[in-house]
Amino acid sequence: MRHVEPQVRLIARPRLDYDEIAAYLAEVGGDRWLERVDRGEPDDAQNLAEFAGRICYRSWEPGLNPNVTRIRTDQEEYLRNILASAHGSVLEHVTFSFALHNVSRVATHELVRHRAGAAVSQESLRFVRLDDLPFWFPDWAREDPELMRRATSLLEQMEQFQHWMAGRFDLDAEGVPFAEKKAKTSFMRRFAPEGVATGLVWTANVRTLRHVIENRTAPGAEEEIRLLFGKVAELMVKEAPALFGDYTVQDGAWIPGWRKV
């Protein structure tokens, strides 16, 4: 048994093909838009959101749509208006992928409830045999010596049982078919606690991210998932400040300036 801390790594972000965007804009008369935006990986997420928004009204330049006589040329101002007007559909084009490491199955069972706008690939304990039981303890639990003594003892006993079963089933013997290993490993996972740490890749669009950050850092949310999405929120404010800069933080709760986006 080992103590672990939940970790979040941002592993994928939008990447735009500016040549194809330029070809499109040349046809509709919006070439100058590309002159106003910064190009490159850190900017692609916000550029994609702006591009998706402007295509709705052909608002690349005044006059391209006779109904549009003036436009916002500052990207931060433009995206702030997207958030304020709850034009959230354009944010669904912008997706980010995270590697969530050392997070419990308690947290992942809650996370998979957010299905809309998200994709999940989680470590399968039907295939991955447990040879130790990584476990996260909140600070208040660590400050209770008797609780920690009993909890550690119980986890060590469960861990020893995992090793005993692997030996009992001869899973490491030469020639054991993988199908048998899978079946026995699936049985063995039933004796692992729900708090055992695992890993997954979680992908979500910006609209979903904003919703989950607000809901899962709220005071009533489970404390590990609050910790986890506080870390996600910190990453996103740095990654796309024009899309996440409206939040204020109160006692760990991330409160958006604009809801129902």
Distance (Å, whole) CA 220 – CA 125: 29
Domain co-membership, 15 together with 133? no
The pLDDT of 214-240, averaged and rounded, is: 97
Domain membership of residue 32 (yes or no) is yes
- Active site positions, annotated: 216
Q: How confident is the model at residue 261 (pLDDT cuts 50, 70, 90)?
A: confident
pTM of the model: 0.94
The pLDDT of 37-58, averaged and rounded, is: 92
Domain co-membership, 66 together with 106? no
Strand partners, 121: 201
CB atoms within 10 A of CB 6: 17
Q: What pLDDT score was predicted for residue 41?
A: 76
Domain co-membership, 109 together with 204? yes
| Residue range(s) defining the domain that contains residue 169 | 126-191
- How many domains does the chain divide into? 3
**DSSP secondary-structure letter at 15?**
-
Q: Decide: 116 and 87 in contact? Cβ < 8 Å.
A: no
